[in-house]
Amino acid sequence: MWRFRINGWHQLVLVFCCSLSLFLCSCRETTFQSSVPTYPVRVVIDTKLGPFVHFQPTVMGSYIVVNGDGYFVNGTRVMALGATDMYGYGGVVVYVSMYGYDAYDLACPYCAQHGMKRSCSVSGFYAECPECGERYDLVSGYALPTQSISHEALRRLNVINSDGKLTVTQR
């Protein structure tokens, strides 16, 4: 007859393994998944060149929108898209907020969640969806919804500022 005795360090190993397995089984994925699909983004803005010289971090509220129609500074088209430009799912806005340069995908998360591809338009301090009417506050640096229609902020993008040359990519 087999008799198995657990004592000493065997008990410690058994308790550790049981605890570890319970801990691993209880974990759920905690990373946030946006309703907006991830599309490639690569936008380069050289603030030392002609149409972008006034796009400085001291001019709060100014913005550049990049979409399939080109580059727009504060609503005015200034340049066509380049061969290497990629502008995400709904276009990209690079905005000068109180924290410096911020960038977001302009696709409305509420509309994307409901199967509609709608891009927000930018005016002043807000990005607004023409379909659902949600407004996203760009000044705060987080692009949070203000009307409580959407429960997600705009998808945030990465901005690298290297001596006045802004490079926007996915996070």
Nearest to 166 by CA among 12, 62, 44: 44
Residue 34: its pLDDT value, please? Answer: 82
Residue 118 has pLDDT above 90, yes or no: no
Q: Which domains does the chain have, with CATH numbers?
A: 41-169 (2.102.10.10)
pLDDT tens, residue by residue, 68-84 = 999 999 999 999 999 99
**What is the average pLDDT score of the chain?**
86
Q: Among positive and negative, which fits the CA dihedral 133, 138, 143, 148? A: negative
Give the pair of three-digit tokens for residue 136.
């996203």
Give phi and psi for 100, each to the nearest 5.
115, -145
Q: In angstroms, what CA-CA distances link 125 with 76, 77, 145?
A: 16, 19, 12
- Rounded to an integer, the average pLDDT of 126-145 is 94
Specify the pTM: 0.80
Residue 6 pLDDT grade (very low, low, confident, very high; cuts 50, 70, 90): low
Residue 124: its pLDDT value, please? Answer: 85
- Determine the residue type at 40: P
Identify the residue whose tokens are 């979409």.
67
pLDDT tens, residue by residue, 21-68 = 555 555 555 456 788 999 999 999 999 999 999 999 999 999 999 999
